[in-house]
Amino acid sequence: MQEIVDRITAEDEAAGIARTLLFPYLNHAATMFESGYATKADIDAAMRFGCGYPIGPLDLVDALGASTVAEGLAHLHERTGDQLHVPAPLLARLAVSSSTFAEEASAGAAAEEPVSHHPVAKVGVVGTGTMASGIVEVFAKAGHDVVFVGRTDEKAAAVQARVEKNLDRAIAKGKLDEAGKSAVIDRLTAATEREALGDVDIVVEAIAEDLDIKLELFRDLDRICKPGAILATTTSSLSIAECAAVTSRPADVIGMHFFNPAPVMKLVEVVSADGTSPEVADTVKTLCLDIGKHPVSCGDRAGFIVNALLFPYLNDAVRLHESGVPMGDIDDAMKATKLPMGPFELLDVVGNDVSLAIQTTLVEAFGHEGWTPAATLQKVVAEGKLGRKTGEGFHTY
Ligand code: CAA
């Protein structure tokens, strides 16, 4: 921890880059906590388990000292005039009183352990992309029977192949044996008809991030799934309430936002809409723990915790590059603060099209002009340089 603090507060150019990108992110985390959107524990856990950060943002403010962050932001604000760089009121207060977010949080009620209210044995997954494949793998490895539905046999076969490839990788590393692989594979059932989801206890959908497409699916799931089945969406930016509203069971509709790569990242944001029943939220949180994930709770608002904190930082990195700082220097400066990837490396993993769509949704939802998607992000998307998936993004692969 001290190593990270020393790196961020050093006098060199890399530390200057880190402060320019980290301080607005820390400020936003402070605002999010102050608004009551999520608890300190969940905000910190979200960035650690969703993005592999060594420390959550509010713990990082405490480690750096609120006054260090508030002064850094004030300097940044002098340069940029951006309202987003004005220290959040709570951060400013902590800076003056030399107190911490940990002390602020301990004044609140302690979180209770979730309990399951519905048995969840059989799981359905809809979708055949990277996220859907990862989610199928996670549930099957945790011992659940999984029915996954693709639009064609070829797409369903691709899910099976991706899961098998990951299991083979685990065998090659000595972390799994052939019997273990067979047991996981035996729990999988591929289907091309949604009717196959009639007897599952929960459906997790990871199809296209398009509201009309999701609404059509939710209407169908409502028709097909047995009473009491939980209907979960992995959306990162669409409204859970709108998905719930087209069903006859809005209390059973919830968000389960996994992170990329799903088999590795431990976080699931469990997103309750106003109509989601607390029992369903508790059941889903317990299920997350059962499959080895760390659930955090948040409300039905664009970006939830992680994307709202992460993507403005990634966008800021692109703008910093536009101002003349080489991409490699930015990636290196951030990795020196122990982030697992530099911002341009991560943009290429997530996909620049996905990142642009998320950033656009965040601007619409929050109205911060300072979050307007960077011109270069828009340009690489227009040129089809979407990241690793197209062989070229900010970096070439
Ligand atoms: N699928 C399955 N397993 C994978 C994998 C993949 N795509 N990539 C890596 N792994 C596994 C490896 O097999 C390895 O497993 P073991 O430890 O069991 O051997 C483990 O992950 C670590 O991998 P590596 O040692 O090869 O690589 P690493 O140490 O560099 O870690 C990483 C890779 C875990 C991805 C790490 O770089 C990281 O945490 N990056 C940050 C990723 C991130 O921020 N994700 C969130 C993006 S935002 C999002 O997803 C939300 C949205 O809505 C878009």
- What's the pLDDT tens digit per position in 26-40? 999 999 999 999 999
**Are the C-beta atoms of 319 and 343 separated by less than 8 Å?**
no
Decide which of 299, 333, 365 is a domain's last residue: 299
Contact 187, 160 (CB under 8 A): no
What span, in angstroms and rounded, lies between the C-alpha atoms of 239 and 204? 15
Instruction: Give a yes or no: residue 238 inside a domain.
Output: yes
Same domain, 180 and 285: yes
141 domain residue, yes or no = yes
The helix (run of H) or strand (run of E) holding residue 129 is none
- The C-alpha atoms of residue 154 and residue 158 are separated, in whole angstroms, by 6
Residue type, 78: E
H/E element holding 20? helix 13-34
Q: Which of 237, 268, 299 is the last residue of a domain?
A: 299
Q: In this model, does residue 108 exceed pLDDT 80? A: no
CB atoms within 10 A of CB 384: 11
Q: Answer whether 0.85 is exceeded by the pTM.
A: yes
- Count of helices and strands (H, E) across the chain: 18, 8
Q: Which of 241, 273, 299 is the last residue of a domain?
A: 299
> Which helix (H) or strand (E) is 26 found in, with range?
helix 13-34
Lining residues, ligand 1, CB within 6 Å: 50-52, 166, 169, 173, 175, 236, 259-261, 263-265, 307, 310, 340-341, 346, 350, 354
The amino acid occupying position 314 is: L
pLDDT surpasses 90 at 119: no
**113 compared with 369, residue with greater pLDDT:** 369
Three-state DSSP class for 76? helix
**Across the chain, what does the average pLDDT equal?**
96
pLDDT tens-digit profile of 337-393?
999 999 999 999 999 999 999 999 999 999 999 999 999 999 999 999 999 999 999
Q: Do 242 and 281 sit in the same domain of this protein?
A: yes
Whether residue 110 is predicted with pLDDT greater than 70 in this model: the reply is no
CB 240 within 8 A of CB 273: yes
The pLDDT value recorded for residue 283 is 96
Give the nearest ligand 1 atom to 166 CA.
2
pLDDT at 114: 81
CATH number at 36 reads: 1.10.1040.50
Please give the distance, rounded to the nearest whole angstrom, from the Cα atom of residue 163 to the centre of ligand 1. 15
Q: Is residue 192 part of a domain?
A: yes
Residue 255 binned pLDDT confidence (cut-offs 50, 70, 90): very high
Please write the tens of the pLDDT for every residue from 226-252: 999 999 999 998 999 999 999 999 999
Structural domain boundaries enclosing 41: 2-108+305-390
Instruction: Specify whether 182 is located in the same domain as 277.
Output: yes
Mutate to test the pocket of ligand 1, among 130, 209, 257, 264 (most ligand atoms within 8 A of CB): 264
Indicate if 307 belongs to the active site. Answer: yes
> Closest Cα to residue 95, out of 129, 61, 124?
61
Residue 165 and residue 54 share a domain: no
Task: Report the percent of the chain where pLDDT is more than 90.
Answer: 95
Give residue 80 CA to ligand 1 midpoint distance, Å: 35
Beta bridge partners of 204: 125, 232
Give the distance (Å) from ligand 1 centre to CA of residue 51.
9
Residue 269 is a catalytic residue = yes
Can you tell me which atom of ligand 1 is nearest the CA of 130? 7
